[in-house]
Amino acid sequence: MGRSTGARALSIWTHNLSEIEYVESLDIYYQGPAFKVGGGVVGTQILEAAAARGLVVVTGECPTVGLAGGYTQGGGHSALSTAFNLAADQTLSFEVITAAGELVTASRSENEDLYRAPSGGGAGNYGTAVSATVKAYPETTVSGASLGILTANTTRELFTEAVTHFHLLLPAMTEVGATVIYQMSSQHFLINPLTAYDRTTSEVQIILAQFISVLSTRGIPYEVSCSEYDSYYDHYNKYMGPFPGGNLGVGIYNFGGRFIPQRILKSQRRTASLVGTLRNLTEHGGFVVGVGLDVSNKTGDKLPNTVFSQWRGAAVTLQLANTWNTVTPWADKIRAQLQVTDEFMPQIEAVTPDAGAYQNEADFRQPR
């Protein structure tokens, strides 16, 4: 998992490869709008360029994430993933510098093996991406929501019951088009945001109705708000902004990751075991972030890439974290990292057998 920081690795500064070019793709595989982005282009830049043309592009939930590099090459989830699948599913071509120092173009009709490999097969394993050309989609109404519960306002049992019901209902939310990002700690459970491309506020309220009914009938206090924007750019800026830096403090956490397969959430018993594990982790210093999505490729399009097959059956890509404290002694920092590896990960693996993880958010110390 060391990748560009691993033994004998080479880290290449691509930040200044920031060109963005709008193109109309007219090949036999895709006819429509697209953007050619330099290897250093980040989410803020391409979202702005796309919005200026009335378009949207699949990017990370953090606007500082680069598009052509490890994000897309590792798969790449997005608040738009339920609508359009993964970032790796958007690629039309790459310009790649190979280990031999040659600049080549890779697409479905030229150097196809080198096109398939970085489309989900792992960052930096096959060459250095100078640029990527990716699909774009029409701008339209995008609605969203946030919903929060505090543990202080209810009992432990009712809080656990609420989180269990949320997970049981999550596949139905994604089935009708939502991507649902949520957080859980010892103090709260928060949906923020639910993103629904080409949906109205009324439709978002319907998506949340069953979960809200669960909370109301059990007397669990909650706060909820919904929004509707004419553009994904404005929706993104509200929930995942502000641009250009966003609101995710990634550098202050130690991470491990795990997929939650759809099959787990179709079983009440397995879902209860999962939520019991999450409660235990959060009560011992852990913090959970989940992205509920459906990237099963429901349209049936042939996707000539190397995305990890476990993505297609995942209901959630889950991050397990604790705090990386920059001022504590080094031994304490290592102890916190090992808590993720030795305590958190074995527990979540036990309730999600054969699930796997998103490599960009996996525990870098994962022993197997």
Domain borders along the chain are: 20-138, 142-351
Q: Are 120 and 307 in contact (CB under 8 A)?
A: yes
Query: Of 75, 70, 61, which Cα lies nearest the Cα of 3?
Result: 70
CATH number belonging to the domain at 142-351, selected among 3.40.462.20, 3.40.920.10, 3.40.980.10, 3.10.580.10 = 3.40.462.20
pLDDT at residue 3, rounded to an integer: 67
pLDDT at residue 9, rounded to an integer: 78
Adjacent-strand bridge partners of 132: 37, 94
Reduced to 3 states (helix: H, G, I; strand: E, B; else coil), residue 138 is strand
pLDDT at residue 327, rounded to an integer: 93
pLDDT at residue 368, rounded to an integer: 64
> Is the Cα dihedral 116, 121, 125, 130 positive or negative?
positive
Could you tell me the pTM of the whole model? 0.95
pLDDT at residue 61, rounded to an integer: 97
Note the CATH architecture for domain 20-138.
2-Layer Sandwich (3.30)
Spans of the chain, pLDDT less than 50:
1
